[in-house]
Structure 1
Amino acid sequence: MSNQPSVLEISAQEVYKNFLDYKDQDFIDVRSSEAHNDWNIFGSVNIPFKMFQSGEFKDLLPKSDKPLTIVCNRGNDSKVIAKFLNDNKIKATSLSKGMQAWNNILHPLEIQPKYSKFKIIQYHRIAKGCLSYLVVNNDEAVVIDPVYKIDPYLKYIENNGYELKYIFETHLHADHISGSRLLQEKTGANLLLSNKDPYTFDYTPIDHEKSISLGGESIIFPIHTPGHTKGSTTIKIGKNALLTGDTVFLDSLGRPDLADRAHEFANDLYDSLNNKIANLSNEMCIMPAHHGKVELKDFNKSFETPLSQIKKFDYFKLSKQDFVQKVVAQTNKTEKPVIYQRIIRINSGSEHILDSQIPDLEMGSNKCAISQK
């Protein structure tokens, strides 16, 4: 196989558009089985690179006439395999820049909570499972938990003539690089963070005792919900929208061990769930900062659920002692995010990196939830 092949490439944006247009497409992922199981493109077939070298691949190829795209981490191995297949009369393209490029795709979906006139856009980072939000009320906007590729937020705001007033982080992120500081630099919006998380740069501390006005109305209500981190903040928008960050997910809870103080933080998490979140209306629309793996059939579904569903978790039925014991035990069975300590240092401002280093740091799925296995 040639090491520097010349083959037709397809961009991650084109692949995304094909999904939007419901166009049939097949994918062969030539990474290791471990990497593929961790994160992949919808419906991709895993045939590791070495199997092409040994000739074991033939019976594993998709048996269809759909356009075929080869996927790897950075778009190098995929070019080698795409050329090999084309040389053997099997038409294939290579995903340009591989999973690193696919990791930058954000899929926006509008959510309209009950009894609310403000607008919420949920940005689904398809590859990694990150969820960020843009809330608009009377032409003023706030962005919550932005990822580092901030262009989609800026374009939406500019195209609609909105003014970005605030940027929030629900917590100090450990699994991906935040875009909050860059967005603040580009727009001058007010950056609000919890001073209970160890940020080292300038920001406005969140006051958990006060509401915040957006579009002339007090509709933003920060609630201190420690447990995932000391500064974890749940953001209530209007009467019925609750952005829970990594405190509560749709099928699990945020892990309490990423500061290496699992028992202490699990106690905090119990109090946050039972003394704050559980006291809110059952109709509250829960929207987290991450989700688990999804299938293609769920591609265009927003990630939200009523609080009444969350309250059915077994966790809400436990005493504090049993809760802490169960949460710590399940957390210990859950693989931690890759190089999470370094990502925490970067997001806190205590370590500086080049933009070119970010794609490698963000490889892999998010692992901020407690395992349910």
Structure 2
Amino acid sequence: MTISKMTAKEVTNRVLSNEALFILDVRNEADFIDWKIEGTRVEIINIPYFDLLDDITPALEKIPDGRPVLVVCAKEGSSIMVAEQIAEAGRNHVSYLEGGMKSWSEYLEPVKVSDLSGGGELYQFVRIGKGCLSYLVLSNGEAAIIDTSRMMDQYEQFMQEKDVKLMHTIDTHLHADHISGGRALAEKYGATYHLPPKDATEVTFKYEKLEEGKDIYVGNETIKVQPIYSPGHTIGSTSFIIDNKYLLTGDILFVESIGRPDLAGLAEDWVDDLRETLYSRYKDLSEDLVVLPAHFGNISELGEGGLVSGRLGALYQENPGLNIQDESEFRKTVTENLPPQPNSYQEIRQTNMGKMNPNEEEQREMEIGPNRCAVHDK
């Protein structure tokens, strides 16, 4: 019997297409509980690799007869060995995840948001294994990327296919859960890297300050920096309005939750800013704006084709973080009711400031696991 490999792209496409997928995850239990492949039709079981070394029977007993099975581990090696044993036992349609959970963490799926009025296009890059979202605006041969992940080659391939030149990379804030590729990508292509100055007081490099009213042009499109000051997740958090239709909220507002204010150790200081942004600044904007956040926390937030979005007016009705009227209750919720902080978040912040320069493998290890930028993660 032979086994086949399945790429992170293929798994992503199955999840986004709501295809049935049975997964045997052979990582240790703690890693599995912390972070796993999820989907509306994903059925997943966990049996650690070391429990299968001498006898594959425990896995065979739990894999339904006739069902294709995908074996997953951290890096790939263990899943290949387990998959081979399952196939040798007579099971058909056995595959393993190429590159393991590391490849799952790093894959970006481009999802088209819409055509823009100036003839351009807006894309959302869904990092499904990490819950990170980044955006690419292209128009008239030019491109800008917002909240760039560190997997630069995937943006580069996309821009090459679209025949556009990178002009701007922009971070809505200084990220704490993933390493930004914005500065490195800008340096490689001679583009301009933009960062909110209030988040950049400790950076070691030059950057272009994001300022209210200082619009950024991409071909025939204009990225309006409005409101420039939407603090709360960080003191410099910045929002963008694109084409008067789309509100890029960074990590301030998500589809099912709101941003946490504690990742710089200043939760008590930033609670009032967070409430002001969510309950006043955003409230003054058009309810018809489509919110495009920098993260999602649950697979339920993925819509058609994998797009993560929500109408601002609907979020004010449905999002629990936007419906805490009592200020003291709000303060308690966003300072006490928080999930664990992201893995290596202090080191990630230091890296994004330019104070640390980890190699590629160290960067991978720093980012492994789910994002935890939200208050109301389930």
Q: Which residue of 2 aligns with 1:329?
A: 336
Structure 1 gaps, min length 5:
1-5
Letter in 1 for 2:138: V
State yes or no: 1:45 paired with 2:63: no
Does 2:244 align with 1:239?
Answer: yes
Q: What TM-score, normalized to structure 1?
A: 0.88
Q: Secondary structure at the match of 2:197?
A: coil
Secondary structure at 2:337's aligned position in 1?
helix
Shift of 1:13: 3.9
Aligned twin of 2:291 = 286
Q: Identify the match of residue 224 of structure 1 among 209, 229, 238.
A: 229
Structure 2 equivalent of residue 210 of structure 1: 214
Q: 1:77 to 1:113 in 2, by over 3 A?
A: same
User: Structure 2: how far apart are the matches of 1:297 and 1:133?
Assistant: 15
Match of 2:347, as an amino acid? R
Change (3 A) 1:169 1:226: same
Q: Identify the residue that residue 264 of structure 1 maps to in structure 2.
A: 269
Deviation by residue 1:50-86 (Cα, 9 ceiling, x = unmatched) = 44246533321133342x3210111122123123223
Provide the rounded CA distance (Å) in 2 between the counterparts of 1:98 and 1:23.
Answer: 20
The answer for the alignment partner of 1:12 in structure 2 is 8
In 2, the alpha carbon distance for the partners of 1:248 and 1:33 equals: 32
The one-letter code of the counterpart of 2:91 is: I
| Structure 1 residue matching 2:176: 3-state secondary structure | coil
SS in 1 for 2:81: helix
CA distance in 1, matches of 2:341, 2:335: 13
Read off the aligned partner of 1:160 and give its amino acid letter. K
- What is the 5 A alignment of 1:275-314? 275-294=280-299, 300-312=305-317, 313-314=319-320
Q: Distance in 2 between matches of 1:248 and 1:297?
A: 15
Which residue identity lines up with residue 214 of structure 1 in the other structure? V
Which is further off, 303-312 or 18-27? 18-27
Matches of 2:20 and 2:316, distance apart in 1:
39
Aligned length: 365
Paired with 1:295 and 1:75, the residues of 2 have a C-alpha distance of 28
Q: Which moved more, 1:31-40 or 1:190-199?
A: 31-40
Tell me the alpha carbon deviations over residues 204-251 of structure 1, each in whole angstroms, 9 at most, x when there is no partner.
111124222232454422422111111111111121111001000001
Structure 1 partner of 2:25: 29
Aligned mates of 1:75, 1:358 — CA distance in 2: 18
Mean alpha-carbon deviation: is it higher for 343-352 or for 203-212?
A: 203-212
Conserved? CA contact 1:227–1:265, under 8 Å: yes
Structure 1 residues 71, 217: closer, same or farther in 2, change over 3 A?
A: closer
Deviation at 1:154, TM superposition (A): 1.7
- Contact 1:132–1:289 (Cα < 8 Å) also in 2: yes
Q: Distance in 2 between matches of 1:310 and 1:116?
A: 28
TM-score normalised according to structure 2 size: 0.87
Go from structure 1 to structure 2 and tell me whether the alpha carbon gap of 1:276 and 1:115 turns closer, same or farther (over 3 Å shift). farther
Q: Is the 8 A contact 2:255 2:301 kept in 1?
A: no
Task: Give the residue type in structure 2 aligned to 1:294.
Answer: I
Percentage of pairs with the same residue: 32
- Whether the 8 Å CA contact 2:211–2:225 is kept in 1: the answer is no
Other-structure match for 2:153 = 151
Larger deviation, residues 180-189 vs 50-59: 50-59
2:187 corresponds, among 169, 177, 185, to: 185
CA positional deviation for 1:24: 6.0
Q: Structure 2 regions of 5+ residues with no counterpart?
A: none
Q: CA deviation at 1:21?
A: 8.1
- Which residue matches 1:3? none
**Is residue 116–residue 122 contact of structure 2 (8 Å, CA) maintained in 1?**
no
Amino acid at match of 2:334: V
SS in 2 for 1:112: strand
For 1:318, the equivalent position in structure 2 comes to 325
Counterpart CA distance in 1 for 2:206 and 2:295 is 26
CA offset digits 1:258-299 (Å, max 9, x no partner): 111111111111111233111100001100000022169957
**One of 194, 200, 205 as aligned partner of 1:201:** 205
- For residues 67 and 308 of structure 2, what CA distance do their matches in structure 1 show? 33
- Name the residue aligned to 2:352: 347
Task: Tell me if the contact between 1:195 and 1:205 (Cα under 8 Å) persists in the aligned partners.
Answer: yes
Q: Conserved in 1, the CA contact under 8 Å of 2:256 and 2:376? A: no
- Name the CA distance, whole Å, in 2 between partners of 1:94 and 1:317: 45
Distance in structure 2 (CA, Å) of the matches to 1:108 and 1:179:
16
CA distance in 1, matches of 2:15, 2:336: 39
**Matches of 2:233 and 2:71, distance apart in 1:** 37
Preserved contact between residue 330 and residue 372 of structure 1 (Cα < 8 Å): no
